[in-house]
Amino acid sequence: MSEAALAAVDWGTSSFRLWLLDAKGAVVAERRGPDGMLVAGTEGFSAILERYLADAGAPADLRVIVCGMAGARQGWVEAPYVSVPAGVDAILAGAVAAPAAGRDVRILPGLAQRQADAPDVMRGEETQLAGILPLFSQGNHLICMPGTHSKWVEAEDGVIESFRTWLTGELFSLMSTHSILRHSLDGAPGAAAHDDPVFANACGRALEDGGDVGSGLFRIRAATLLQDLQPADAAATLSGLLIGAEIASARRVFQASSQQVVLVASGALGLLYATALKLAGCTVIQADAEEAVRTGLFEAAKRLGWVERAA
Amino acid sequence: MSEAALAAVDWGTSSFRLWLLDAKGAVVAERRGPDGMLVAGTEGFSAILERYLADAGAPADLRVIVCGMAGARQGWVEAPYVSVPAGVDAILAGAVAAPAAGRDVRILPGLAQRQADAPDVMRGEETQLAGILPLFSQGNHLICMPGTHSKWVEAEDGVIESFRTWLTGELFSLMSTHSILRHSLDGAPGAAAHDDPVFANACGRALEDGGDVGSGLFRIRAATLLQDLQPADAAATLSGLLIGAEIASARRVFQASSQQVVLVASGALGLLYATALKLAGCTVIQADAEEAVRTGLFEAAKRLGWVERAA
């Protein structure tokens, strides 16, 4: 096993992921847990980081590059937003040193879109963008980054021009746990399978409805009452409705000239979005979200001179 | 003060309203409280009803006509849905006697739309419709009944042809208390004022976006972070966005040939919807929701022969 050259951390609101990377960016060790920003406010950012580093066997002087909510105003130290339009280098150049970390820890900034009529922000996804944009350095690309807060990004010749957020994952969670629909979804075995025809059907209908999610939500409750819709199918319907509406809405907002969408996602969510995007008539280029963020973090380390640029 | 001829009750999920009406339908006494179906499951429907009746000074043999969730399967006694298309008389004829009530209590049915691709249900609003539809017995009318679950209804020559539900009120509540937007709305002094330009602006934008609510929600959070949006303005923006999206969505779904909308609402919510509908270019005919439900309940009592039909 090669030696760790640095640690790379993706520190979200409710999750923490750490990789030890060697001088070529290969993964030497990996740790993940629920210690996101919400927890870190209590235990302390440095304490959590040191706990994970020790668990992964990192030496005391190993340098750490971080992205995500640790750089928010209410995080460890604020890494001020970089405004779009912005290239990858502007993101990588914005790293801020964490105070009293006991080692060299740098936190990457988020992105802000400051247009008066379309304000938006991201923290974490910009580092995924830094990881993949070198592959899309020419022409216009629409990038879909699904999640609790899905981000859609328009990039032109490798520059992030604009972006927008859809609360799709959060809406799914809220609707299934707090709304009238919880009675319909109660007992559902988690997310839909990407090849579930119930998902495809709901998604296709939402795409036809052009992003209008409101007219379809209560139908799920009514179908439970009148048509004996089962919880798993209710969950697949809600998932298809929300994802289909997001895609229709995003394509309207960005008025994409091409049918191509770069999907940056992992696991089951990636499969669902790939299915939905194909239903929408899109050509999908898929990049793994975890690999993208690791690559972005490693690029930042290179820029800091922590590893050879030639690596 | 005239003598009470019957009691009329609108029994919702989380609210209870009782009126004593005289033989002409005029209000003799009124009581309201939070003892909706959710509470009644514990205390018992009959016990709650008797408590309110006693408080209002109703005699022991006064008859009671009820609409709303008391007639749901999980309510007092199920008053099976009447399927649309349905006229007012089919609703009024569907009253079911409540068991072991100790007095004559009848509960009106809800409406069900059983189309495979557009299932929907209502309980309570059908009685408002019974109250107002005699005024719209000719021609095609689109009726908007805003609330936690807003109902839009298409009526043709006095017959309820179809309807659909939007979760607008519930979404506002969920977003403002459980979502990421709660940080933006925290401290807002309740609902928007109908003449607030922030409401009108958000509403107008949602109308332009054609019912696409998803692309606008996170903008509220971002405006707090980047533009110092204040909680009251965040609440007015969310309200305008959700109501505007509902109206755009409903008009798309019903493809209304006329610009006229019959708005059945009361109080501040009625003012907000009237403003929003006018922004959408609609001609608004406004009916008071409470008066509508009382009229519907009184019509049911007339049909039961409890009061003179000539009244």
How many domains are contained in chain A?
A: 2
Domain match, B26 and B126 both: yes
Taking Cα atoms as reference points, which of A79, A135, A78 lies closest to residue A264? A135
Q: Which of residues 197-216 of A touch B (CB under 8 A)?
A: 209-215
Domain match, A192 and A122 both: no
Domain match, B93 and B207 both: no
CATH of the domain at A207: 3.30.420.310
CB contact under 8 A, A217 and B167: yes
Q: Which of residues 225-254 of B touch A (CB under 8 A)?
A: 225-227, 242, 245-246, 248-250, 252-253
Q: Calculate mean pLDDT across residues B173-202.
A: 92
Q: Which of residues 98-157 of A touch B (CB under 8 A)?
A: 112-114, 116, 118-121, 149
Residue B40 belongs to some domain of the structure: yes
CB contact under 8 A, A225 and B119: yes
Query: Is residue B311 predicted with pLDDT exceeding 60?
Result: no
| Cα–Cα separations (whole angstroms), residue A194 to A178, A240, A277, B210 | 25, 10, 12, 28
CATH of the domain at B48: 3.30.420.300
Q: What is the pTM of this model?
A: 0.95
pLDDT digits (tens, 9 = 90+) for B114-136: 999 999 999 999 999 999 999 99
Residue A114 belongs to some domain of the structure: yes
Instruction: State the Cα–Cα distance between residues A187 and B289, nearest whole angstrom.
Output: 37
Domain match, A130 and A179 both: no
Instruction: State the Cα–Cα distance between residues A43 and B62, nearest whole angstrom.
Output: 63
Query: Is residue B27 predicted with pLDDT exceeding 80?
Result: yes
Residue B275 belongs to some domain of the structure: yes
| Cα–Cα separations (whole angstroms), residue A289 to A139, B41, B179 | 22, 48, 24
Domain match, B201 and B256 both: yes
Domain match, A127 and A179 both: no
**B156 vs A187, which has greater pLDDT?**
B156
Strand pairing category for B86-87 and B159-166: antiparallel
Domain match, A88 and A186 both: no
**B258 vs B7, which has greater pLDDT?**
B7
Q: What is the pLDDT of residue A192?
A: 84
pLDDT digits (tens, 9 = 90+) for B4-13: 999 999 999 8
Chain-wide mean pLDDT for chain B? 95
Domain match, B97 and B176 both: no
Domain match, B210 and B238 both: yes
Q: What is the pLDDT of residue B1?
A: 59
Q: Calculate mean pLDDT across residues B140-159.
A: 97
Domain match, A27 and A105 both: yes
Residue B239 belongs to some domain of the structure: yes
Domain, as residue range, for B95: 6-136+290-303
What residues contact A37, with CB distance under 8 A and at least 6 apart?
A11, A12, A13, A14, A68, A69, A70, A72, A74, A75
Q: What is the pLDDT of residue B292?
A: 98
Residue B159 belongs to some domain of the structure: no
Please give the ipTM for the structure prediction: 0.94
Domain match, B183 and B116 both: no
**B62 vs B2, which has greater pLDDT?**
B62
Q: What is the pLDDT of residue A1?
A: 59
Report, as ranges of residue numbers, the positions in chain A whose pLDDT lies below 50: 311
Domain match, B181 and B95 both: no
Residue A46 belongs to some domain of the structure: yes
Residue B262 belongs to some domain of the structure: yes
Residue A154 belongs to some domain of the structure: no
Q: Calculate mean pLDDT across residues B13-28.
A: 95
pLDDT band at residue B57, thresholds of 50, 70 and 90? very high
pLDDT digits (tens, 9 = 90+) for B203-244: 999 999 988 999 999 999 999 999 999 999 999 999 999 999
pLDDT band at residue B310, thresholds of 50, 70 and 90? low
Q: How many residues does chain A have?
A: 311
Q: How far off is chain B from A138, nearest CA to CA, in Å?
A: 27
